[in-house]
Chains A and B, each alone.
Chain A
C-alpha cells in the first residue's frame, strides 16, 4: 500500500471528510460503550434524545454550542493564517473576567443595550490583548506561539482563581469562590422563553457569517491567508506580514474573549474557575471538523455541544460515564486529521 498525492481535492470529498470522521469516531466510541457493558445502540439513542429529544434538550444544546461557535471561529481564523492559537481557553477567561470586573456596577447609568455592548467589547479587547502579546513575541523574537498561548492558559486560570478568591470575590456567596455578579440589566435577553437560550447564539451566528464574508471578500482575508500559506510569496507581493498577523490575532483573540463575555452575560452572571468546561480547547476540534470554514463552525459546534449535553442525559440512565463525550469529541479530532490526510492523498495498492 502506498499514498500518492491527489492532483486536486474535490469539494465533495472535503464535505464528506467530517461526516466520515464523525461516523468513525462514533463507531470506535461505541466499542468503549460496549466495554462498559451498556447496549450501544440504546446509549446512542439516549444521547440523541438527551441532545435533541425535547424543547429543553434542544435549547440546552444550543446554549452549550454558543461559546463553542465563538471559540471555534477564533481557532479557524487563526489557523487559516497559520497563527497557532491554542490559548482560546485563557482568552475566554480573560474576557469573562473583564466583564465581571466592569459589569459589577453601572455607575454611568447606561441603558441596557449600551451597557451590554460596552461589556462585550471589553471582553473582546481582553481576549485580543492576550493573543496579540504572543504574536508580537513570535514576530519580534521568533517565540513559538503554540507554547506561549498554551502555557498562558494556565496563568490566566490561576489569575481567575486569585480574583474570585480575592479582589473580585462575591461577599454574599457564602464563601464560594465566585466573582461579584454583573448587574441585572446587563444580562443578555432570552430568545426562547422558559429556557437558558440567550441572544448570544444569534450574535455568534451573525459573527460566523461576518467572518466568512471577511475571509472571502476582503483584502485582509486574502492577505492573511497568503501570509499563512506562503509567507515568502506574501512578502514578495508586498503583504505587510506583521500587521496582517497582528490583525488576525485581534480577530481571533477577540472572538475567544467574546465567548467568555457572552457566557457570563448570557448564562452564569458571574465568573468561577469552572465557567468553561474546556470551551477553548473544544473550539480547536470544532474548527478542524469544520475544515476551518466559518459557516461549518456553526454545525460542528452544535455537534460537539450535542455530544456533551446528550452524554450527560445518557449517563444518568445508563451506567456509562459522561466522559464518553470527551472521548468521542477527542476521537473525532483524530479521525478528522486522518480524513484530511485522505482528502489530500489517495491510496494505491
Chain B
C-alpha cells in the first residue's frame, strides 16, 4: 500500500507533565481504507487523533498528508489538508439548524449575506451520495443522537474531508444504528475516502475495519488485518494479558425482594413504563435487555426512588414503592448504580470521600445532629478503595480525576460494601474497557452469591447471557415475559429485543 498512502504519522510522542500519552507512534493509512485504532481507555487513542487534527502539539514526530508535511497544532491547516474529525461528544450548536451547523466556520464573518442556497444544494448532494439522509432545516436539538452524528459527518464532508476520523463513534449508538454507521463508512471508503475510527469494542473493529492498529499505554503494540486475526487475539493485544469475563454459576434463589404487577410509570420527555410485571429474588440476577431509549431509564428511576408509579403494584423489600424516595431506598439497603455515572453517579469536583457518603448522610455512622463525621466518612472511602481495588487517588482526590472504570468501582463499592439486599445496576459497564468490565461482572456475581438480588439493565447481549439467571426484554416501555438462563441465547434475545415474544412463555 506504500504507493497509495494518504496519511502518515511518524514517531509521534506526546507528554503531559510526567505522563507519556503517546510514545513513538507511527501509523500509515491507505486511500480507501478503514482503519481501526483499538485500545483501552487511557491508551492514548484520543490524544493521538487530537494531535492529527491540530488540537494538541506533539513533543516529537511529524504528520504527512498526501506526501506533504502538515503544520502541527493548527486545526485550520488540518481541515484544509482534508482531515475531518467527528468527536465523541458532538460539537454541534443545538439551537441552530442542520444546515447552519454544517455551514458554521466555512464562511467569512464579513460576508454580506450567507450563501444558504448553494450550501443547501451541496449538503443535499453529499447526503445523497453517502446515504446520510437528514432534514437540513431541522433544529439539531430535535434530532436523535444517531442523526446528530450524521450531521457531524456531513459537516466534515462539507469541509472537503478526505480523511475522516471518528472518536468512539458507536459509544452513543444503539446496535442497529451502529451497524448502519459501519455500512456508511464502508460505502465512503469505496468512494475513495479514508477512515480511522477509534474503538475499544472488539466486535465492531472486526466487523467495520480492514486493518487494526492496537495501542497500549501510548505505544503501538500490534497491527493486524482483520481478516487474519481473531477477537481473542485482539483482546489480549489490547489489554496485555488474557482477560476472561467471569460467567455465572447456578445459584439457589432466596426470598422475594421485588414484586411488580402491572406497573405504569409516566416519564415526561422519555419512554414511560407500561404494565410492567417482574419479580426478583435474593441471590438472583434479573437481566433487562433492550435497545436504549425503550424505557430503561424509567425503570431504573422507578427502582432508584426517582420516579413513582401511576398505576399497578410494586413492593420493594416488602414496602410499597409509592412511598419510597432516593433517600429512603439508600437507607433501606437498596444499592443503586446510575445509568449515567458522570452526571448522576458523582459530583465531579467533590473529593472521593464526599461522593462515597453523599447518599448516606442520614446514616448516623456518617452524620450526627447535622454534622458530617469526616473521619468516619474518610475511613469508609478508604475501605471501599481497598476492597474494590480503586486506584488513581486517595479519599481527598477530586472525583473527576478518576478513570471511568475507577469511578464505577467507587459507585459499586459504596453500594456493595454494606451487602445490600437489592442492587439496581443500570448499564453498569457502558463505556468501560475490557479489564474494568470483567471486574464489574465479577463484583455483580459475587454480590449475587452473597444473597443480593440484582436487577441488571443492559443493552449488551453478551453481558446478559453471561450473568443473568433470567432475562426480560424491554421494548417501547413494555417488558417481555421472563426467559430462564437455560433458554437464553443471542438469537432468542435478539428476537425479544425486536419485540417478538408471542409464545415465549410456552417455549420456556
B371 contacts A217, C-beta separation under 8 Å: yes
Known: A232-B344, A236-B344. Contact between A219 and B370, CB under 8 A? yes
How many A-B contacts are there with CB distance less than 8 Å? Answer: 82
A230 contacts B348, C-beta separation under 8 Å: yes
B401 contacts A8, C-beta separation under 8 Å: yes
A236 contacts B367, C-beta separation under 8 Å: no
A98→B306 CA distance, assembly (Å): 41
Is there a chain B Cβ closer than 8 Å to A172's Cβ?
Answer: no
CB distance from B422 to the nearest CB of A (A): 16
Is there a chain A Cβ closer than 8 Å to B398's Cβ?
Answer: yes
Segment of A61-69, A221-229, A312-320 engaged in the interface with chain B: A221-229
| Cβ-defined partner of B336 (8 Å) among A221, A226, A229, A236 | A236
B347 contacts A236, C-beta separation under 8 Å: no
A236 contacts B338, C-beta separation under 8 Å: yes
Is there a chain B Cβ closer than 8 Å to A102's Cβ?
Answer: no
Query: Which residues in A have their C-beta under 8 angstroms from that of B338?
Result: 236
Is there a chain A Cβ closer than 8 Å to B335's Cβ?
Answer: no
Is there a chain B Cβ closer than 8 Å to A237's Cβ?
Answer: yes
A218→B372 CA distance, assembly (Å): 5
CB distance from A224 to the nearest CB of B (A): 12
Is there a chain B Cβ closer than 8 Å to A140's Cβ?
Answer: no
Known: A217-B372, A220-B370, A238-B327. Contact between A233 and B347, CB under 8 A? yes
Return the chain B residue nearest A349 by Cβ.
Answer: B57
Is there a chain B Cβ closer than 8 Å to A234's Cβ?
Answer: yes
Return the chain B residue nearest A221 by Cβ.
Answer: B372
| Cβ-defined partner of A236 (8 Å) among B57, B326, B374 | B326
How many A residues touch the partner, as a band? 20 to 34
Is there a chain A Cβ closer than 8 Å to B330's Cβ?
Answer: yes
A236 contacts B345, C-beta separation under 8 Å: yes
Return the chain A residue nearest B397 by Cβ.
Answer: A8
A233 contacts B344, C-beta separation under 8 Å: yes
A218→B370 CA distance, assembly (Å): 6
Known: A232-B343, A233-B347, A236-B304. Contact between A222 and B359, CB under 8 A? no
A219→B355 CA distance, assembly (Å): 13
Is there a chain B Cβ closer than 8 Å to A194's Cβ?
Answer: no
A240→B344 CA distance, assembly (Å): 15
Is there a chain B Cβ closer than 8 Å to A12's Cβ?
Answer: no
| Cβ-defined partner of B359 (8 Å) among A2, A7, A229, A238 | A238
A238 contacts B401, C-beta separation under 8 Å: no
CB distance from B75 to the nearest CB of A (A): 10
Is there a chain A Cβ closer than 8 Å to B461's Cβ?
Answer: no
CB distance from B330 to the nearest CB of A (A): 6
CB distance from A6 to the nearest CB of B (A): 10
Known: A218-B372, A219-B361. Contact between A234 and B57, CB under 8 A? no
| Cβ-defined partner of A229 (8 Å) among B55, B73, B347, B374 | B347
Which residues of chain B from 69 to 111 have a CB within 8 Å of any chain A CB?
Answer: 73
Is there a chain B Cβ closer than 8 Å to A336's Cβ?
Answer: no
A233 contacts B345, C-beta separation under 8 Å: yes
Is there a chain B Cβ closer than 8 Å to A128's Cβ?
Answer: no
Return the chain A residue nearest B349 by Cβ.
Answer: A229
CB distance from B206 to the nearest CB of A (A): 35
Query: Which residues in B have their C-beta under 8 angstroms from that of A220?
Result: 370
Return the chain B residue nearest A213 by Cβ.
Answer: B371
CB distance from B28 to the nearest CB of A (A): 28
B330 contacts A222, C-beta separation under 8 Å: no
A222 contacts B358, C-beta separation under 8 Å: yes
A237→B329 CA distance, assembly (Å): 10
Is there a chain A Cβ closer than 8 Å to B198's Cβ?
Answer: no
Is there a chain A Cβ closer than 8 Å to B354's Cβ?
Answer: yes
Which residues of chain B from 313 to 341 have a CB within 8 Å of any chain A CB?
Answer: 325-330, 336, 338, 340
CB distance from A250 to the nearest CB of B (A): 15
Is there a chain B Cβ closer than 8 Å to A235's Cβ?
Answer: yes
Binary interface encoding of chain A residues 1-36 relative to chain B, with 1 for a CB under 8 A from any of its CBs, else 0: 010100110000000000000000000000000000
Query: Which residues in B have their C-beta under 8 angstroms from that of A229?
Result: 347-350
| Cβ-defined partner of B354 (8 Å) among A2, A222, A240 | A222
A8→B349 CA distance, assembly (Å): 10
B374 contacts A217, C-beta separation under 8 Å: yes
CB distance from A152 to the nearest CB of B (A): 29
Is there a chain B Cβ closer than 8 Å to A239's Cβ?
Answer: yes
CB distance from A338 to the nearest CB of B (A): 20
| Cβ-defined partner of B346 (8 Å) among A8, A225, A233, A349 | A233
Known: A219-B367, A226-B358, A229-B349. Contact between A235 and B343, CB under 8 A? no
| Cβ-defined partner of A226 (8 Å) among B73, B305, B350 | B350
A220→B370 CA distance, assembly (Å): 7
Binary interface encoding of chain B residues 287-316 relative to chain A, with 1 for a CB under 8 A from any of its CBs, else 0: 000000000000000001110000000000
CB distance from B345 to the nearest CB of A (A): 7
B367 contacts A8, C-beta separation under 8 Å: no
Return the chain A residue nearest B55 by Cβ.
Answer: A2
A238 contacts B305, C-beta separation under 8 Å: yes
A239 contacts B358, C-beta separation under 8 Å: yes
CB distance from A220 to the nearest CB of B (A): 6
Which residues of chain B from 365 to 417 have a CB within 8 Å of any chain A CB?
Answer: 367, 370-372, 374, 398, 401
Query: Which residues in B have their C-beta under 8 angstroms from that of A349?
Result: 57
Q: Count chain A CB atoms within 10 A of each CB in B17, B306, B347, B349 and give the residue with the most.
A: B347
Query: Which residues in A have their C-beta under 8 angstroms from that of B306?
Result: 235-236
Which residues of chain A from 225 to 278 have a CB within 8 Å of any chain B CB?
Answer: 225-226, 229-230, 232-240
Which residues of chain B from 250 to 307 have a CB within 8 Å of any chain A CB?
Answer: 304-306
A229→B401 CA distance, assembly (Å): 16
Return the chain A residue nearest B331 by Cβ.
Answer: A238
| Cβ-defined partner of A237 (8 Å) among B349, B358, B398 | B358
B326 contacts A238, C-beta separation under 8 Å: yes
Return the chain B residue nearest A226 by Cβ.
Answer: B347
A2→B340 CA distance, assembly (Å): 30
A235 contacts B326, C-beta separation under 8 Å: yes
A218 contacts B371, C-beta separation under 8 Å: yes
Query: Which residues in A have their C-beta under 8 angstroms from that of B328?
Result: 238
CB distance from A116 to the nearest CB of B (A): 28
A234→B349 CA distance, assembly (Å): 13
A348 contacts B57, C-beta separation under 8 Å: yes
A217→B344 CA distance, assembly (Å): 23
Query: Which residues in B have their C-beta under 8 angstroms from that of A223?
Result: 358, 361
8 example contacts (A-B, Cβ-Cβ < 8 A) are as follows A8-B401, A217-B371, A218-B371, A223-B358, A230-B347, A236-B359, A238-B328, A239-B358
The 10 A-B residue pairs with the shortest CB-CB distance, nearest first, are A238-B327, A238-B326, A237-B359, A236-B344, A237-B358, A230-B347, A232-B343, A219-B361, A219-B367, A232-B344
Residues of A participating in the B interface, judged by any CB pair closer than 8 Å? 2, 4, 7-8, 217-223, 225-226, 229-230, 232-240, 348-349
Residues of B participating in the A interface, judged by any CB pair closer than 8 Å? 16-17, 55-57, 73, 304-306, 325-330, 336, 338, 340, 343-350, 354-355, 358-359, 361-362, 367, 370-372, 374, 398, 401
Apart from A218-B370, A238-B325, list 6 A-B contacts with CB within 8 A. Answer: A2-B55, A219-B361, A223-B358, A237-B358, A238-B359, A239-B358
